[in-house]
Structure 1
Amino acid sequence: MPSASYFRFFDLPAELRTNILSYLLISRYGIVLYNCTLFGLTATDRVTFLYIFLVNVQMYQEASAIFYSRNRFILNGQSHRLPGHLTKAGGFLSPQGRDARRRVQTLSLYLTRVGGEFENVLAPAISDMILSGSLRSLKICLGPPSSQHARISGPNINIMTTVPFQALLDLLADPDLQHVELCVWKVHWSIFCRFHENLEASTKEKTSETVDDHGLATIRGHPDWIQLDWQAMIENFRAGERILKIKDVDS
């Protein structure tokens, strides 16, 4: 029988090991923490990082550092309630998942409404990821309100003064974040309209925006997600005091 052959991966220079692990562990689609039809991936696109992590201690240290720091993690909270596997023991939002989520550097969060679960579960977890962890890039996308909610709430809804939305503004204002984005869907509450850009001027396309009797604005002729000036929103609606870094106070 021919002698067994093998290759000693850790005999490679560290730079080559990093290149190989990066190829295996960095997803161009992002790492989806809650998989549903909106963010579904095919079987060939799924990252089987767990098997690599289990090789040995050194492999875990090198591979997990790349996985958590160089991937964009996507958390889809657009369902009526957060899925159980996120909050159950060992889930991303559970106490057992705290150390892992603290290593994430880039997070995109998709919401339909900013309500109690955001205030009580998501906001504290994300705040901890910033304060005690490595999270430095945060993107929050607010999906379209349900038509039923719009009919009940009426055109004068002011969600920015609610306690959950104040928690969202507190997150965006965290001085340790280095990159922040806030987006709304092309169908959104009209209260957001004053905070998005002049769409026709920015895209050089013919756009139109209409507002219905329920206070829902609809933009036509523009990509689906619209950037908001979150800093202006904070200046106008945030009730809390500005958080300063120690170096900002000293200067």
Structure 2
Amino acid sequence: MRYVIEDVNDPRLDDVRNLKKSDAHGEGLVIGEGPIIVERLLASAYPTRCIVGFKAKIDTYLSQHEVPDDVPIYEVTRDMLTEVAGFDMHRGLLASADRLDAWSVDEVIEGAQTLVVMEGVGDHENIGGIFRNAAGMDVDGVLLGSGTADPLYRRSVRVSMGHVLRLPWARFEGGYTNWQHKLAKLSDAGFRLVSLTPSEDAVHLAQALKGAEKVALLVGAEGPGLTEHAMKATDVRARIPMAPGTDSLNVATSAAIAFYERQRSLLDF
């Protein structure tokens, strides 16, 4: 059902109220912004609670997509949504959904051939970028090590273009100095564990991937990169060759290059 809302204090808008605050504190819901992500949210397993948007955006969306009868649609003005959300929501269409439990590590590993493991990646936009790149380059799943932020934060969902809602992911248990022990589960499953590092002592990425049927690519945070604890738990340290005067790339960019190189390595099979 579609409803026109005229009061910014209407409790039906509470799901999208103060979005910057809820994003910072990771409170409760999944928020999808823009028609593409709303569509992917509706198609995902996450139970959609409502859709909120400007009249023109809702009209256009409904002319192209079906919305389940049990999902209410709330029509508001741009000024109202700006006041409710806490900033100018210029995309004009968003949806909220209930969270679900993440997959287990075993579920993500099962049947996978290529995985990416993040350690200490706290920037939500980098997380979203890695998920988007992984989905686009046929990575089977994502595993999160210590210090990695929640991929269901609003900005991560937005930057991933909603792919975080469909790509399997799970979090390893453990803290800064011991989560790496859980990587043995990947080794036991036949994965070659490859650490991405700018170190000159590391081998060329293509060499590290050559001949591997299953690969798990480890990436670390901007700046510090992977911890020595994590790299010691892997089979090989690999680098992306860099031009003189440069030493590293953004972590999402590095991951994308690694995913592409992984695809190239599979041509040998």
Same fold by TM (over 0.5)? no
Higher relative contact order (CA 8 A, sep 6+): 2
Structure number with the higher helix fraction is 1
Pick the structure with greater CA Rg: 1
Q: TM-score, normalised by structure 2?
A: 0.27
